[in-house]
């Protein structure tokens, strides 16, 4: 299968034929292993990633080095933070990390202006991605403002389950604590409470949603 054929198979319902031609001519497709940092905070961003297969996560790292997940990205989705880089500074404020083994389309930042000017389907795609991320941001704000910590943990696990399309999540209590800006002791206590309530099952470095 050629690069153009693969892009049409995955993105053909979203992008016009001319846009697919441009992406195939100027972009590159590459596979990455789980845990690979494609972009790190402070990097000079030269390519915009679009997920073709697998799952990625976009993370904000604070000054102490602690990671906080902003959102997950599934096939056909792109990171809106990299769109803003194209029109402003090219220094990344986020980390783009492979949550699973994945395949990405990487398109040069220097050519992004032409996509916006020439292809209506690209402009619609960018707006749709911004809308999805804004919705997730508002849901996150509601979770922080109105939910108790046990509810936040359950919501966090449900979101990860939806993104990874599995009921079994490979994650440690410390990783959850980091993402929710709380302590591991609190997370462990509340996870045991959720297990007693029959909502999850705890395993070694794994949590299963029931």
What are the residue ranges spanned by the domains of the chain? Answer: 3-142, 147-209
Sheet holding 102-108, edge to edge: 28-32, 102-108, 47-53
Cβ neighbour number for residue 25 with a 10 Å cutoff: 10
Coil/strand/helix, residue 57: strand
Is the pLDDT confidence value at 110 over 90?
Answer: no
Q: What is the CATH number of domain 147-209?
A: 1.10.10.10
φ/ψ (deg, to 5) at 147: -100, 145
Kindly give the pairing relationship between strand 47-53 and strand 56-61.
unpaired
Give the tens place of pLDDT for each residue, 23-47. 999 999 999 999 999 988 888 888 8
Question: Model's pTM, two decimal places?
Answer: 0.71
CA–CA separation, 82 and 116 (whole Å)? 14
Given CATH 3.30.460.10, say whether it is the number of domain 3-142. Answer: no
Tokens 């999805």 locate to 132
Q: Which of 56, 92, 68, 24 is nearest to 182 (CA)?
A: 68
17-21, 54-58, 65-69, 121-125: least confident range:
65-69
Tell me the average pLDDT across 130-159: 79
pLDDT for 76 beyond 60: yes
Query: Per-residue pLDDT tens for 159-205?
Result: 888 888 889 999 889 888 888 878 888 888 899 889 989 999 998 88
Which of residues 45 and 84 earns the better pLDDT score?
A: 45
């Amino acid at each position: 299968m050629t690069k153009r054929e693969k892009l049409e198979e995955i993105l053909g319902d979203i992008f016009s034929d001319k846009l697919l031609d441009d992406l195939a001519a100027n972009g590159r497709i590459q596979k990455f292993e789980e845990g690979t940092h494609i972009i790190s905070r402070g990097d000079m961003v030269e390519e915009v990633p679009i997920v073709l297969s697998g799952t990625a996560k976009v993370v904000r790292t604070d000054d102490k080095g602690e990671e906080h997940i902003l959102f997950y990205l599934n096939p056909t989705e792109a990171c809106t933070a990299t769109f803003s880089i194209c029109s402003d500074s090219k220094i990344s404020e986020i980390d783009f990390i492979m949550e699973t083994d994945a395949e990405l389309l990487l398109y040069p930042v220097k050519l992004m202006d032409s996509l916006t000017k020439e292809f209506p389907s690209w402009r619609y795609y960018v707006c749709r991605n911004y809308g999805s991320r804004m919705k997730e941001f508002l849901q996150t704000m509601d979770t922080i403002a109105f939910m108790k910590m046990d509810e936040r943990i359950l919501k966090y696990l449900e979101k990860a389950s939806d993104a990874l399309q599995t009921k079994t999540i490979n994650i440690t209590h410390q990783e959850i604590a980091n993402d929710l800006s709380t302590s591991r002791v609190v997370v462990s206590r509340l996870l045991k409470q959720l297990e007693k309530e029959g909502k999850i099952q705890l395993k070694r470095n794994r949590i299963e949603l029931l």
